[in-house]
Amino acid sequence: LYDTAVIAFEEDIKNVLVTNGFINKEPLKQLLPFIHAANVDLKSFSGEFYKQLCGAELPPVLETLKMMYKKIHLEITNLIIPQKNDSSDQIEEMCKWISTELGRDVPLHFSRFFPFYKMTDIKPTPIKTLVHAKEIASKYLDYVYIGNVRVEKGENTYCPKCKKLLIGRTGFGILINKIKNGKCPCGHGIPGVWNL
């Protein structure tokens, strides 16, 4: 990854990581100067979840998020799995942490779980759970989205200052984009990959 990131960077190609964020500090420090943006899967805000389901630990992932936020454009995705990481308290704790330790401007994507591979006995995440998670997160974060399912206004971006629609999306398609030079028409700066 490091070798190809350096080559791409030298050719002025933007490097974007989609990662679970489980990496040691030193390799991450070496890699970050060649990365422009990242989407990190924060799988849960429970150490027990990470230990039992991922065979990993939560603190290194949180440290990765803090290191990335200081250097590159960062977005976070949380796959909500029924009965595993869907408690309102845990979602609220996670969102408070993101807001306090990183910032209100970090985009957070809640994704719908579908039964697959070793978890075929769990039903898909109810849409009302995703909507509720978005409501909780919106108290602490300015850019919250719902993915893997169509929910009205779940994929759109709104200006945190004037509250007007900036980007209207459906699936992977953009229907409306009112952001110009990284700003809302009201003048408020909007973080994102268009600023890279």
Confidence of residue 192 (pLDDT cuts 50, 70, 90): confident
Three-class DSSP labels, 150-188:
CCCCCCCEECCCCCCEEEEEECCEEEEECCECCECCCCC
31-52, pLDDT tens digit by residue? Answer: 999 999 999 999 999 999 999 9
Mean pLDDT of the residues in the chain: 94
CA distance 116 to 78: 17
pLDDT confidence of residue 194: 60
95-132, pLDDT tens digit by residue? Answer: 999 999 999 999 999 999 999 998 899 999 999 999 99
pLDDT confidence of residue 151: 85
Q: Which string of DSSP letters, residue by residue, matches 47-105?
A: HHHIIIIISS-HHHHHHHHHHHHHHSEEEEEEEE-TTTS--HHHHHHHHHHIIIII-TT
* pLDDT over 80 (residue 175): yes
* pLDDT over 80 (residue 195): no
Confidence of residue 196 (pLDDT cuts 50, 70, 90): low
37-92, pLDDT tens digit by residue? Answer: 999 999 999 999 999 999 999 999 999 999 999 899 999 999 999 999 999 999 99
